[in-house]
Structure 1
Amino acid sequence: MTIQIRRRPLVAALLAAPAVARAQSYPARPIQLIVSGPAGGTTDYTARLIATPLSERLGVPVVVENRPGGNGTVAVMPVVRARPDGHTLLLAYCANLTGRPAIEPNIGYDPRRDLAPIALLIEAPQVMMIHPSIPSNTMAEFIEYARQRPGRLNYASSGNGSMQHLGTELLKKRTGIDMVHVPYRGTGETMNDVLAGRIQFYMTTPPPALPFVRDGKLKALAMASSERHPAMPEVPTVAEAGLADFSAEAWFSLMGTAGTPPAVVSRLTQECQSILQQEAIRQRAIQAGAFARYEDPERLANRIDRELTGWTQLAREQNLTVD
C-alpha cells in the first residue's frame, strides 16, 4: 500500500510532463493566424493590428492568412481541426461565432465546443444610415416612415448571419417595422447600391460611411452602440435616439483550437492584453472606426454563449434561414 501511494504522484507527474513541456517551449515554430475575412476588411485590419506586436513578443513570425468564404467556415474549420498546440489561431468576426451558427445550426462546428477563447480584441460600433431621399432626419422619424410602408423599403447586409443582418432584424422586431433583406458579399458593392438609392437602410462601421455622410450623400441616424463614436460625435447612440438596451456592435476575437493547453492560452491572453494597452494600438483602432476592448477567455466565452443564445432566439422569432 505504501508503494502505491508513493508511485501515484510520480505517475501523475510523468503524464503531465509532456503538456508542461509543450507549454514551456511555446511557441516552437511560426504561428498561422487564419482570418475569416478578405484583405482590407475590419477582420483583416484587426489581424494585422495584432500580428506584428504579437510576433515581436513571442519571438516567432505570426503569419496572417486570409481565408474568406463559406460565411466563415473556410477559416473556422482549419482551426477546429488543427492540433491544439496554439500554433494555428483564428481571427474571428463575431458572426462566425454567434451570428451564422444562430441561423444555421448544422454549420459544421460548435463555437462553444470546438474553439478555445483567447481574447476579445476589438469592438466596432455600427452607424445606422438612410438614403437622403428618405424624408427623415432622426431615428424616430425613420421608424414612423417605415411603419407606414411595410415591405417597401430594402436594407442591406454583408450576408446572412452578419451583425448587419441580425442587428437590423432586431431593429425590426423592437420597432415593428418591415423591411426586405438584401444580402451582399462586399462593402463596395453594397455602398454603390445604397448611394444609388436601391437600398434605403444600411448599418456598417464608420470608416466606409464617414465620407458619404459628411458629403450629404447619406444620412446617419444613430450609432448601434452604448457610446458615441469620436469620428462621428454628432451622431447619437440608439439609446439617445429612443431605443434603450439596443446594441448591434461588431467585435473581433482571437480563438484557438479546443483542447489547447491552459498555459498556452494564458500566455497568448497576457500578450494580447499587454498589446491592447499600448496607446499606439488603441489610436490605430480608433482610426479604423473601432475600439480596443480586451476581455479574458472566461468573459469572452460568456459573451459568445450569451450572444449565440440571444441571436438564436431572434432567428426563431423572425424565421431567419439561410437563403
Structure 2
Amino acid sequence: MSRRSIIRRTVALAAASLLAPLAAYAQGFPQKPIKLIIAFPAGGPTDITMRQLADNAGKILGQSVIVENKPGAGGTLPAQALQSTPADGYTVGQIPLGVFRLGYTTKINWDPIKDISYVINVTGYAFGIVVPADSPFKTWKDFVDFAKANPGKLTYGSTGTLTSPHLTTEIIAQQAGIQLQHVPYKGSADLMLALQGGQLMSGADSTGFAPQVEAGKLRVLNTWGDKRLAKFPDAPTLKELGYDIVQNSPFGIGAPKGTPPEVVKKLHDAFKQAMEEPSYVAALGKYDMLPNYLSSAQYTKFAQDTVAREKVIIEKLGLAKGQ
C-alpha cells in the first residue's frame, strides 16, 4: 500500500470515528424535553400559535416541547439566548425579523447569520393599524390629516422598538409625510390594554387585536398584506391607500450554532409535520396567519437576504448605530 493510500485511509477512519458518535447521538435524539423560547409574552397570538405547534411537535418527537416566554428587546432575546446554550438540540428559539436588524442597531459580539443554525420557517403575521372604537379617526385619511396638523402628537404603540410593526409604521409615516410618537410595549397583550385604557391614540400590531375589534372596542384603519383580510373586509390594504408596502414578517425556529446536522434535520422534520396538523392551521387561522414553510437551507438563505435588505431600511430611517 502506498504512503498516499495509507494517509487517505487514516483520514477516512478518523472522520468516521468522529461522525459515528454524532450519528448515534442523532439517532437517539431526543432523550429529554426540548425547550422552545419564544420572543413575546404569554396570551398573545405568537404564544398561542407556537404552543400549539410545540404540542404537535412534542407528540411527533416523543418528548415534550416546553415553551418559555422571553419577551423584550424587540423580540431578539431568544436568539441571544441561543448564543450561550449547548448546541445539542434541546434548546431552540423563535427568530423574528428583529434579529436580522440587530447588527445595525446594537453592539453585539455575535453574527445573526453565522451564529444560528436555521431549522425551519413556520409562519408570518397579518398586521394593521387600529384605533379605539370611540376615536375621531374613522378612516386612514382622518388619521393622516390629524397627524399633519399636529406633528409628533399622534401616539401609536407597537410590540417593541425595531420590531416590524414599529419600523413599518415609520416607513408608512415617512411616505405619508407625517411624524408620529412611538410607544413600545413588550407584546400584544400589554399594547391592547393600553389602547383600551385610553393611554394611546392608535396601535400597530399583528391581528392579535381581532377579538377587541370583533367586540366593538377597536377599529381597523388599514392592513398590511397583499390582499384585504376576510375578517376585516372594510379595512383597505396599504397598497390600496397608495403605499408600496406589504409586510407579513415571516418567522421560524433556530438552534445554537454547531448543532449537529442530523439533529437539525430531526427537529426540522418534526416541526414540518407539526405545521401540517389541522390543529396548528386552525390556531393560525384565528389570527389570519398562514403556514409559511421554508426548509433549513431556504430559511438560511432567507436570513442572509433579509439581513442585506434590513440594512437599507434601518439606514433610511436613520436608526443605524452612529446615525
Q: What SS class does the counterpart of residue 111 from structure 1 fall into?
A: coil
The one-letter code sitting in structure 2 at the alignment partner of 1:139 is W
Q: CA deviation at 1:186?
A: 4.3
Deviations 1:181-214 (A, max 9, x none): 122234344334434555333221223x234434
Flag the 1:108–1:290 CA change in 2: closer, same or farther, 3 A.
farther
Instruction: Tell whether the 8 Å contact from 2:41 to 2:187 is kept in structure 1 after alignment.
Output: no
**CA spacing shift, 1:144–1:260, aligned 2, 3 Å:** same
| Residue in structure 2 matched with residue 225 of structure 1 by the alignment | 225
* 1:26 matched residue in structure 2: 29
Q: How far did 1:80 drift?
A: 1.7
Structure 1 residues 107, 73: CA separation in 2 closer, same or farther (over 3 Å shift)?
farther
Q: Report the counterpart of residue 307 of structure 2 in structure 1.
A: 308
Any idea what SS the aligned residue of 1:90 has? strand
SS of corresponding position for 2:106 = coil
Hey, what does 1:210 align to over in structure 2?
210
CA apart distance, 1:262: 1.7
Q: Corresponding residue for 2:92? A: 89
Please tell me whether residue 116 in structure 1 is matched to residue 117 in structure 2. Answer: yes
- After TM superposition, the score normalised by the length of structure 1 is 0.86
CA distance 1:212–1:50, change in 2 (3 Å): closer
Instruction: Write out aligned runs for 1:143-158 (5 A).
Output: 143-158=144-159
Q: Is 1:56 matched with 2:55?
A: no
Q: Quote the residue 1:297 is aligned against.
A: 296
Cα deviations across residues 244-269 of structure 1 (Å, max 9, x unaligned)? 3x123244311101111222212221
Question: Percentage identity across aligned positions?
Answer: 27
- Verify the 8 A CA contact 2:79 2:94 in the aligned structure 1: no
DSSP 3-state at the match of 1:44: helix
Measure the CA separation in 2 of the matches of 1:7 and 1:187: 58
Superposition RMSD in Å: 2.7
Name structure 2 gaps, 5 residues minimum. none
Kept after mapping to 2: 8 A contact 1:117/1:254: yes
Structure-2 separation of matches of 1:3 and 1:35:
50
Mapped partners of 2:8, 2:320: distance in 1: 58
Q: Normalised by the size of structure 2, how large is the TM-score?
A: 0.86
Deviation track 1:81-120 (CA, whole Å, cap 9, x = no partner) reads: 222121111133332x234x15533145422121111111
Q: Distance in 1 between matches of 2:296 and 2:303?
A: 10
Separation of aligned partners in 1, 2:62 and 2:169:
43
Please list every run of 5 or more consecutive structure 1 residues that lacks an aligned counterpart in the other structure.
none
Q: 1:37 aligns with which of 36, 40, 48?
A: 40
Cα distance between partner residues in 1 of 2:199 and 2:147: 15
The amino acid that maps onto 2:156 is Y
For this pair of structures, how many residues does the alignment match?
318
Q: Name the CA distance, whole Å, in 2 between partners of 1:192 and 1:33.
A: 27
Partner of 2:131: 130
Per-residue CA deviations over 1:279-322 (Å, capped at 9, x if unaligned) read: 33211211144222211122222333333333333222222379
